[in-house]
Amino acid sequence: MKIITTFLIAFICSISYGQQFTGKIVDEQNTPISYANIVAKDKIDNSIITGVITNENGEFTINPKKGNIFIEISFVGFTTKKIHPTKPNIGTIVLEEEGQLQEVVITARKKLIQQKVDRLVFNVENTVAGIGGTALDAIKTTPSVNVDTDKLTIVGKGNVRVMVNDRIIQLSGNELNAYLNTIASDDIKNIEVITTPPSKYDAEGNSGLINIVLKKSKENSWNNQIRTSYTQATYPLLNFGNTFNYNKDKLSLIASLNGKKGQTAQFNEFDIMYPSASTETNLDMKNKENMISGRLGLDYNVTDKAIIGILYSGSFENKGIKDGGRTLIDDANGTFIINEGNADTKNKNHSINAHYIQKLDTLGEKLSIDIDYFNYNNSSNRGFSSEQFITNPSFFEAKNSTNQNIKNYSGRVDLEHPSKWANFSYGVKITITKTDSDVAFYNTTTGTPVFDPTQSNEFMYSENINAIYADMSKALSKKWQTKIGLRFENTRTKGISKTNNQTNVNSYNKLFPSVYLGYNPNTKNMFNMSYSKRIQRPSFERLNPFRFYINPISYQEGNPFLRPQISENLEVKHIYKGKFISKAFVSYLDDGYFNIIKAEDGVQQRIVVTFDNFYTAYNYGLTETFLYNPTKWWNTTTQATLSKMDTRYKDGFNLDAELLSGLNFQLYNRNTFHLNEAKTIQAEATLIYASPQKLMYFSTSEMVDLNLGLKFSLLDKNLNCTVAVNDILKRKATSVNTKTNGINQAYYNYFDTQNFKISLNYSFGNKKIKVKQHNSGNETEQNRAKK
């Protein structure tokens, strides 16, 4: 703590005051421009007096310490602008793209992809993927992001954490995916992929963060959108919802309601080549989907400088899963096993965010306070049976019930403090998470339920994270900028397994530095280098020491001694004219944890899945992104990534599995076509390709995902209809092969991704309400999201 205290004192003591000007820089679509150059020059000899760069919100404060000056604003890919300030608050300044005529600016359409200095922004709101789906659907179409069964990763890198409106979501795995499915894609403005986050953000997430930015109420207006979509895959699925926005005078209100009803499917194949006899398993699943979710938010401008607000989000889901399959045993007798299961699952989550934002002066100093509560509850009852025929006939039937309850409390205080020398931000955050999960297992083979305490468990897990951070950004000259930050986190955890009579306590302190250095030699080129240190803490499921049985003899077992994995990430990037983006990256992962699959042969053949910190890894690669508009009616985005991951066992580990390494290639290409002059008919084609990959001890087959869509805008673009066909080639699913303990295994999971979807949404409202005259603006307003 002494290091952090000294760091903060040094920041605060360096602050001095003088004549200052403040403002905000945005592009033609009113999107803030981060790290733009703001230079004060002498009117007489045009000499540079001082300079700063804009922060993440496009805001700046500059103190030239003398009069008779003008301010020059520049950013790569945009026309340099000169202004002659007459008052301290300059206001919002719009930069135009190079080569754009004023007439074009008036009708300019928003770019699908925007590459900022520290993040890639995918403007999903006007795409086919942004209508009639969920947040998870939108993330699946975002460049640089992979969505696996239970995890989100950045292409060529590793796992990421997810935020909504800059608020971290304290869920992972299947729980996170379920939560993302409660957010309508129609409510999303854009998705930001942040690969080297500054110290302001939580250090969680090895490869960075995904930030979902929700739409805000437009100033002095009200709007209502009603929507529905129908998806046909193996089974039909219906989504519907409504969003109401109101913003007048000092009051801003948003209310959203969404629902989902229907069925989805999943198809699985597992082939295990035991020396004594191989097995082939097919398992088909039919999932009943029945969910309703909502969001209600209220912001109020107490004064021209103070905003107070509250946001509630919640969802209720009743999901049924029916599965059935057959296992063939190659034992020369034709032995086979019939497996059947039926589960009823209920999920509930509630979250409340209260926030207060106070402008402390007219120079950009701002205080933000957030208090959050989040509760996620899952209960499931599953009955399953397994019957073996021909050789050693047998029958087994059981029922188990699972309950888990997650409660999260957090408080955060942030202060933005611009000065004539540099821009500072610092803050503190406290997070408390409590998890309680229990499993009750009953053997029902005889027809009478018999409680089995050896396969029942109650596990409680608590986590307390205390964090403090400080950031400083400064323009070293007109062409050079830097930003440095340091975050300190103290983590204390406690896991209690009542069944195993086992308690595990852990405590550790970590420092997470971040450094950014930018060089802009001219308006066409931008170079930057960034470094950050990150952490990935194991989920409570992986910490639970209980054995969750897949069948009577195969099981998955958590590890209460799992340690967090630490990564260090370095990126070097070049942006040319805002259209060509080249990025080289390298990262080092220490104490990496993953699932360990052990296939055991003998009297009984079984699969055992455990977790451990067993490897270190170097990950490096190149990414090229090309943003190009061949014509006025054709936009295209292409991104290619070539990467390699080299893993090594930590000392003392030998999993009897060969660690694999090879070049991995992924291509993302998205084309948008405006088919008429009024731009009311839009076609989209998206192709994602991934080469065969070798990661750790797994080999993955190639993946091809081709999606086509049409969007029709009617009634002055208030009525939108989209038609989409996804996974046309039915090659999005991949097969995974591995060899452990000398036993070859192959796994294939198909999530019924080939489908046809039609969506409708209709918007109406008053774009401008007559309001009282006042000086307050929306630029400092923040909608906070749930945890």
Tens of pLDDT, residues 670-700? 898 989 988 889 999 999 999 999 988 899 9
Higher pLDDT, 236 or 765: 236
Give me the mean pLDDT over the 769-781 stretch. Answer: 32
Identify the CA nearest to 192 among candidates 174, 225, 214, 173.
Answer: 214
pLDDT at 187: 80
pLDDT at 172: 67
Higher pLDDT, 523 or 393: 393
* CA distance linking residue 594 with residue 153, whole number of Å: 14
* CA distance linking residue 29 with residue 275, whole number of Å: 63
**Each residue's pLDDT tens digit, 196-219:** 788 888 888 767 788 888 877 667
Higher pLDDT, 92 or 780: 92
Specify the range with the lowest mean pLDDT, choosing from 137-151, 300-314, 597-611, 762-776. Answer: 762-776
pLDDT at 582: 92
pLDDT at 491: 93
Q: Which residues of 480-495 are buried (b: 16+ CB within 10 A; e: fewer)?
A: bbbbbbbbbbebebeb
pLDDT at 106 over 50: no
Strands 21-26, 89-94: pairing is parallel
Phi-psi region of 560 (alpha: psi -120 to 50; beta: other; left: phi over 0): alpha
Give me the mean pLDDT over the 267-286 stretch. Answer: 87
Higher pLDDT, 108 or 300: 300
Look over the chain and give the mean of its residue pLDDT values, rounded to a whole number. Answer: 82
Q: Mapping DSSP to helix (H, G, I), strand (E, B) and coil, where does residue 237 land?
A: strand
Residue pair 763/718 in contact (Cβ under 8 Å)? The answer is: yes
Higher pLDDT, 723 or 135: 723
771: confidence class by pLDDT, cuts 50, 70, 90: very low
pLDDT at 126: 62
**Each residue's pLDDT tens digit, 339-350:** 888 889 898 989
pLDDT at 335 over 90: no
Specify the range with the lowest mean pLDDT, choosing from 217-231, 236-250, 501-515. Answer: 217-231
pLDDT at 782 over 50: no
* CA distance linking residue 554 with residue 204, whole number of Å: 32
pLDDT above 70 as % of the chain: 86
597: confidence class by pLDDT, cuts 50, 70, 90: confident
pLDDT at 302: 93
* CA distance linking residue 126 with residue 711, whole number of Å: 9
Enter the DSSP assignment of 422: -
Identify the CA nearest to 88 among candidates 424, 481, 426, 359.
Answer: 359
List, in sequence order, every beta strand (DSSP E) within 701-776.
Answer: 703-714, 719-726, 735-740, 743-750, 755-766
407: confidence class by pLDDT, cuts 50, 70, 90: very high
128: confidence class by pLDDT, cuts 50, 70, 90: low
Identify the CA nearest to 179 among candidates 145, 139, 237.
Answer: 139
Among 520-524, 703-707, 768-772, name the most confident range: 703-707
Residue pair 79/97 in contact (Cβ under 8 Å)? The answer is: yes
- Sheet-wide strand order for 21-26: 59-62, 21-26, 89-94
778: confidence class by pLDDT, cuts 50, 70, 90: very low
Specify the range with the lowest mean pLDDT, choosing from 58-62, 171-175, 239-243, 329-333. Answer: 171-175
Half-sphere exposure of 644 (CA within 13 A, CB side): 5
pLDDT at 727: 93
pLDDT at 666: 93
* CA distance linking residue 678 with residue 696, whole number of Å: 51
Instruction: Judge if pTM exceeds 0.75.
Output: yes
Phi, psi of 668 (to 5 degrees): -125, 125
* CA distance linking residue 531 with residue 529, whole number of Å: 7
* CA distance linking residue 153 with residue 589, whole number of Å: 15
Please report, to the nearest 10 degrees, the dihedral formed by the alpha carbons of residues 74, 79, 83, 88 taken in order.
Answer: -50
pLDDT at 735 over 80: yes
Cα distances from 522 to residues 77, 78, 80, 525, in angstroms, run 10, 11, 10, 6
**Each residue's pLDDT tens digit, 616-664:** 999 999 999 888 888 888 888 899 999 999 999 988 787 788 888 889 9
pLDDT at 233: 95
pLDDT at 430 over 70: yes
* CA distance linking residue 607 with residue 601, whole number of Å: 9
Higher pLDDT, 167 or 359: 359
Identify the CA nearest to 695 among candidates 664, 666, 667.
Answer: 664
* CA distance linking residue 163 with residue 208, whole number of Å: 11
**Each residue's pLDDT tens digit, 41-69:** 888 777 777 777 787 678 888 878 777 78
Give me the mean pLDDT over the 353-376 stretch. Answer: 88
Give me the mean pLDDT over the 273-288 stretch. Answer: 87
* CA distance linking residue 246 with residue 253, whole number of Å: 5
pLDDT at 17 over 60: no
308: confidence class by pLDDT, cuts 50, 70, 90: very high
* CA distance linking residue 495 with residue 482, whole number of Å: 42
Cα distances from 222 to residues 225, 714, 718, 736, in angstroms, run 10, 20, 14, 50
- The answer for residues whose C-beta is within 8 angstroms of residue 27's C-beta and 6 or more apart is 33, 78, 94, 95, 97
pLDDT at 475 over 80: yes
